[in-house]
Structure 1
Amino acid sequence: MKWYHLAQRVIGGYACTRSEAQEMLRVADDETLDLVYGAYQLRRHYYGTAMKLNLIINAKSGRCAENCAYCSQSIYAETSIDAYPLVSEDVIVQGARQAYENQIGTYCIVMSGRKASPREVRTVCSAVKKIKKEMPIKICACLGLINGEQAKALKAAGVDRFNHNLNTNASHYDQIATTHHYQDRVATIKAVKNAKISPCSGVICGMGETDADIIDMAYALKELDADSIPINFLNPIPGTKLENMDELNPNRCLKILAVFRFINPTKEIRIAGGREVNLRSSQNLGLYIANSIFIGDYLTTKGQDTTKDYQMIEDLGFSIETKAVETKI
Structure 2
Amino acid sequence: MAVTQLENIKNCVLQGQMINKQEALIISKAPLEELGAVANDIRAHFCGNAFDICTIINGKSSRCSEDCKYCAQSSFYQTQLKEYPLLDTETIVEQARYNEERGVLRYSIVTSGKRLSAIELDQICASIRTIRQQTNIAVCVSLGLLNEEQFRQLKEAGVSRIHNNLETSLSFFPNICTTHSHADKIAVIRAAQKAGLNVCSGGIMGLGETVEDRIDMVMTIRAMGIRSIPVNMLNPIPGTPLATYPQLTNEDMCRIIAVFRFLVPNASIRLAGGRGLLPDKGRQCFLSGANAAISGDMLTTSGISIEEDMKMLAELGYKAVLWNE
Whether TM exceeds 0.5 here: the answer is yes
The amino acid that maps onto 1:20 is: E
Displacement of 1:150 = 0.1
Displacement of 1:197 = 0.2
The amino acid that maps onto 1:284 is: R
Q: Deviations over 1:264-321 (max 9, x none)?
A: 11111101101121x3237212112111101111000111344332222122122222
Quick one: distance in 1 between partners of 2:247 and 2:53? 27
Number of matched residues?
321
Which residue pairs with 1:41 in the alignment?
41
Displacement of 1:194 = 0.1
Displacement of 1:326 = 7.8
Quick one: distance in 1 between partners of 2:319 and 2:266? 19
Which residue pairs with 1:22 in the alignment?
25
Quick one: distance in 2 between partners of 1:95 and 1:247? 31
Which residue pairs with 1:99 in the alignment?
99
- Among all aligned residue pairs of Structure 1 and Structure 2, give the percentage whose two residues are the same amino acid: 37
Quick one: distance in 1 between partners of 2:303 and 2:11? 35
Change (3 A) 1:56 1:311: same
Q: Is the 8 A contact 2:228 2:324 kept in 1?
A: no
Stretches of structure 2 that go unaligned for 5 or more consecutive residues are none
Quick one: distance in 2 between partners of 1:35 and 1:117? 46
Which residue pairs with 2:56 in the alignment?
56
Displacement of 1:210 = 1.1
Which residue pairs with 2:282 in the alignment?
283
Aligned pairs (5 A) from 1:4-19: 4-19=7-22
Which residue pairs with 1:209 in the alignment?
209
Q: Deviations over 1:232-259 (max 9, x none)?
A: 1111111111001115211111111112
The amino acid that maps onto 1:269 is: I
Quick one: distance in 2 between partners of 1:319 and 1:4? 27
| TM-score (norm: length of structure 1) | 0.94
Which residue pairs with 2:190 in the alignment?
190
Quick one: distance in 1 between partners of 2:59 and 2:243? 25
Stretches of structure 1 that go unaligned for 5 or more consecutive residues are none
Which residue pairs with 1:173 in the alignment?
173
* Greater than 6 Å deviation, 4+ residue runs: none
Q: Is the 8 A contact 2:102 2:307 kept in 1?
A: no
Which residue pairs with 2:293 in the alignment?
293
Q: Is the 8 A contact 2:140 2:159 kept in 1?
A: yes
The amino acid that maps onto 1:310 is: M
Quick one: distance in 1 between partners of 2:105 and 2:305? 18
Quick one: distance in 2 between partners of 1:282 and 1:200? 22
Quick one: distance in 2 between partners of 1:222 and 1:78? 36
Deviates more, 1:237-246 or 1:308-317: 308-317
| TM-score (norm: length of structure 2) | 0.95
Aligned pairs (5 A) from 1:119-134: 119-134=119-134
The answer to whether residue 87 in structure 2 is matched with residue 81 in structure 1 is: no
For the residue of structure 2 that corresponds to 1:219, the secondary structure is helix
Quick one: distance in 2 between partners of 1:35 and 1:94? 42
Deviates more, 1:196-205 or 1:282-291: 282-291
Quick one: distance in 2 between partners of 1:275 and 1:57? 17
Which residue pairs with 2:138 in the alignment?
138
Quick one: distance in 1 between partners of 2:247 and 2:128? 39
How well do the aligned residues superpose, as a CA RMSD in angstroms? Answer: 1.5
Q: Is the 8 A contact 2:295 2:309 kept in 1?
A: yes
For the residue of structure 2 that corresponds to 1:231, the secondary structure is strand
Displacement of 1:10 = 0.7
For the residue of structure 2 that corresponds to 1:170, the secondary structure is coil
The amino acid that maps onto 2:279 is: R
Q: Is the 8 A contact 2:233 2:275 kept in 1?
A: yes
Quick one: distance in 1 between partners of 2:131 and 2:304? 27
Q: Is the 8 A contact 1:129 1:157 kept in 2?
A: yes
Displacement of 1:109 = 0.3
Displacement of 1:23 = 2.2
Displacement of 1:127 = 1.1
Q: Is the 8 A contact 1:52 1:291 kept in 2?
A: yes
Displacement of 1:53 = 1.2
Which residue pairs with 1:272 in the alignment?
272
Quick one: distance in 1 between partners of 2:209 and 2:229? 18
Quick one: distance in 1 between partners of 2:324 and 2:21? 32
Q: Is the 8 A contact 1:4 1:41 kept in 2?
A: no
Displacement of 1:325 = 7.3
